[in-house]
């Protein structure tokens, strides 16, 4: 009779994967749900923000939502905004990569996976009328205007009015009342 120690490593990997499969499937389902909620929030944010005059070339120009470092979220967001408008403007999703210009982008979601990319994009957007949205505490401190947080096992968001005001963006009181936390303007 063979002992367990004599089995091949492939057997152990297969056994481990079989044991962890329900947890991995649950994590993937949660990630899918989180992605759907983030996409819904991003869509809704567009209707509660006022961009300064000159942010749109024409009256019928779309609100362009950039997504950096999260292709699956960009796919979900494209489905979410398809055929919808915000304040009478169509919505458009654009994938943003390192080195891309932020010209023409009105809202930018930056995923937390690549911190150097987040730093680069937040620095490039500073002072521009681009609503920046992140999902990591450390990027929120680098100038993001909205940051997704998990609170009470729910996806929520916090808002930095200081950062939004510095970029000449106005966030509606209705959106602020739905925020988990609002950082007021300093001074």
- pLDDT tier, 50 (very low <50, low <70, confident <90, very high otherwise): very high
Q: What pLDDT score does 106 carry?
A: 98
Residues 6 or more apart whose CB falls under 8 angstroms from that of 131 comprise 45, 49, 106, 107, 108, 145, 146, 164, 167, 169
Closest CA to 117 of 130, 99, 133: 99
Please state the rounded mean pLDDT for residues 141-146. Answer: 88
Residue 90's beta-bridge partner residues?
85
Predicted TM-score (pTM) of this structure: 0.82
Q: What pLDDT score does 149 carry?
A: 92
Residue 129 has pLDDT above 60, yes or no: yes
Q: What is the pLDDT of residues 72-85, one digit of tens each?
A: 999 999 999 999 99
Average pLDDT, the chain: 85
Q: What pLDDT score does 186 carry?
A: 52
Residues 6 or more apart whose CB falls under 8 angstroms from that of 15 comprise none
Q: What pLDDT score does 115 carry?
A: 86
Answer yes or no: are the C-beta atoms of 133 and 107 closer than 8 Å: yes
Q: Are strands 170-171 and 154-160 parallel, antiparallel or unpaired?
A: unpaired
Residue 163 has pLDDT above 60, yes or no: yes
């Amino acid at each position: 009779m063979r002992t367990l120690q004599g089995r091949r490593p492939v057997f152990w990997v297969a056994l481990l994967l079989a044991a962890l499969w329900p947890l991995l499937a649950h994590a993937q389902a949660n990630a899918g749900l989180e992605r759907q909620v983030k996409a819904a929030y991003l869509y809704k944010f567009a209707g509660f923000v006022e961009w300064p005059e000159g942010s749109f070339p024409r009256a019928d120009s779309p609100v362009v939502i950039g997504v950096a470092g999260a292709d699956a979220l960009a796919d979900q967001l494209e489905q979410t905004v398809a055929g919808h408008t915000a304040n009478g403007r169509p919505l458009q999703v654009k994938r943003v990569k390192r080195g891309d210009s932020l010209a023409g982008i009105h809202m930018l979601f930056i995923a937390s996976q690549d911190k150097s990319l987040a730093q680069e994009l937040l620095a490039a957007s500073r002072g521009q009328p681009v609503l920046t949205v992140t999902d990591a505490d450390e990027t929120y401190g680098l100038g993001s205007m909205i940051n997704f947080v998990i609170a009470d096992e729910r996806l929520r968001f916090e808002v930095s009015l200081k950062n939004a005001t510095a970029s000449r963006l106005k966030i509606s009181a209705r959106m602020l009342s739905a925020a988990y936390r609002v950082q007021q303007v300093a001074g």
